[in-house]
Structure 1
């Protein structure tokens, strides 16, 4: 008699990381369900997904969102609920209710809020022995100027995502600097070095999976679409130290600046899935870690690279031609796998256009931009939840 397969429910199905996780869980023998308040055509089209479910928008209807997930977990006999995007904060808020029906792969909201805050996180990291940049929490441009003097600095909202509203002042804060907008901001010393993004999965303070990448090609001051795997022992050691100090369970990701000697300074945290997940494709290592199995830290093969192929053609290729970087583009293209079309599962690549059209229409209706339209229903900036 065969053993019934485990069942996972992936929320935030709009994200490419959810698509890749669906494939990894399905390859490991799990039955995969996905859920989102958006259509998520790409993930829903994957052969790996048994069923896609529409749920209320977590930001606008947090209680209805949790109730819908609880009902799904009960009706579908879900073994693991895995958030992938910023809906993780709303899932964490309803974790007690959801845990009555399934295992929830995240911590409670108060701890996630500390990690999500670009100010509070620095205190947690420093207390655990991590290197952090000189920083200050400010509420006005005058406070930022008084703290920074003439040194180079970064200004960013305490709660934000994808580099939105980040201000770089390499020559110090100019007299004409725009005022802040009333939110708390973080003023931070601008560090020289290579940006590296890392991702880990921990269980009860033990790091079970880890990957890091350089954002090889990206939109200006925004998210990357090329993920060039790197091995940095200092980042791995510091990540281990922090998850151990916190007794952390779940997904956790960091942004770092690495100097010429390979020493890394952590600048912020994302307690959720990130694009480093793509580097684990073709392996069940990440699935085992997310299921809390094993004791060793699993890592992707050296030299792994992944990309969003449409963006490599639409954005990186013209950029490379203009900058005389075509040989680099060709080299990067050849060595990376496409996140959207893996093996015979190629339907998601075409469905991305439907998702983009959906967000473009939403942006036109609201007068906003495409990025804002893609996250407006899941963003959380530390405000109290009902």
Structure 2
């Protein structure tokens, strides 16, 4: 099929990037067109243990992280209530335990087949960035924060951090692009502690909702070819994913007494799925959201887990 279509560039949207990178090892035509790092680099970025180790090696700030491949490894950790536990390969904060009780830690099914990590807990403000790297330099970058999240941790509304935080996040992205990623999309979650020090928590070597901050800027497409200066969105207004902001944001607002804020954000913010004079994408997204919500209920998963269940990559072949 690749020989027939002869694509110039194959840009993955989610965790199919890992499966495509594995296939590219055997298909030269795909390897030439796939916009992603090699599979081994993708594994390093996606692994919460390896990512922390390689960041420390190039001098980037990461909390202490311990690999857990056997329940006996728990005995070597500092006080569990000072740590965050999460599967080595996971997404959207699924299964993460933040400063858990000992009884909960003792129930973890830790093994070489399903490794976990323990990471020093850093209290502070969480921010994220999304970036595109070409030949080791940034060709696109945006930073965002959110207090509107699905229970698994996935955000469905976004606002720009202040300029100081954006600068710090951009510096981290520049270093990662040059030192590890080289070519491809990547996004990181970062905590700013009480002193304003940013700490890299984990990396998603794929597209994330950060792309929404570019709205419909055609320069984002140019960024994949790296033939223009680094593109960054102008200071965006509050942006939100319409179906999720309704399905999850409204109940959350009702529970927390934040209905007035929710209504104000609906009026003043920008919905990013629909397009001017074209609401069909919004309708399609709403249908998809309802379908995934039903799938999540039927399978006992969170919505975020249900949406990636058929494509998620958890270190296969490592």
TM-score, reference length from structure 2: 0.89
How far apart are the structure 2 equivalents of 1:175 and 1:202? 43
Q: State the Cα distance separating 1:363 from its structure 2 match.
A: 5.3
Write out aligned runs for 1:152-171 (5 A). Answer: 152-169=82-99
Q: Is the 8 A contact 2:41 2:181 kept in 1?
A: no
Q: State the Cα distance separating 1:74 from its structure 2 match.
A: 3.3
Given candidates 376, 379, 384, the residue that maps to 2:309 is: 376
CA RMSD of superposed structures (Å): 2.4
Greater strand share, structure number: 1
Q: Is the 8 A contact 2:124 2:192 kept in 1?
A: yes
Q: Is the 8 A contact 1:93 1:109 kept in 2?
A: yes
Given candidates 61, 76, 82, the residue that maps to 2:11 is: 82
Residue number in structure 1 paired with 2:79 = 149
Residue number in structure 1 paired with 2:20 = 91
SS in 2 for 1:256: strand
CA distances 1:270-304 after superposition (whole Å, capped 9, x unpaired):
0000011000013122111112212x322111134
How far apart are the structure 1 equivalents of 2:104 and 2:259? 38
Unpaired segments ≥5 residues, structure 1: 1-70
Aligned: 1:184 with 2:115: yes
Aligned length: 311
Aligned: 1:283 with 2:217: yes
Residue number in structure 1 paired with 2:147 = 216
How far apart are the structure 2 equivalents of 1:342 and 1:77? 30
Given candidates 201, 207, 226, the residue that maps to 2:132 is: 201
Q: State the Cα distance separating 1:234 from its structure 2 match.
A: 1.1
Given candidates 116, 140, 159, the residue that maps to 1:228 is: 159
Aligned: 1:311 with 2:241: no
| Worse overlay, 176-185 or 106-115 | 176-185
Unpaired segments ≥5 residues, structure 2: none
Write out aligned runs for 1:1-386 (5 A). Answer: 71=1, 73-96=2-25, 99-100=28-29, 103-140=33-70, 143-144=73-74, 146-149=76-79, 151-169=81-99, 173-175=101-103, 177-181=105-109, 182=111, 183-230=114-161, 231=163, 232-246=166-180, 248-294=182-228, 296-359=229-292, 362=295, 370-384=303-317
| Worse overlay, 225-234 or 202-211 | 225-234
Residue number in structure 2 paired with 1:21 = none
Q: State the Cα distance separating 1:306 from its structure 2 match.
A: 1.8
TM-score, reference length from structure 1: 0.74
Q: Is the 8 A contact 1:122 1:132 kept in 2?
A: yes
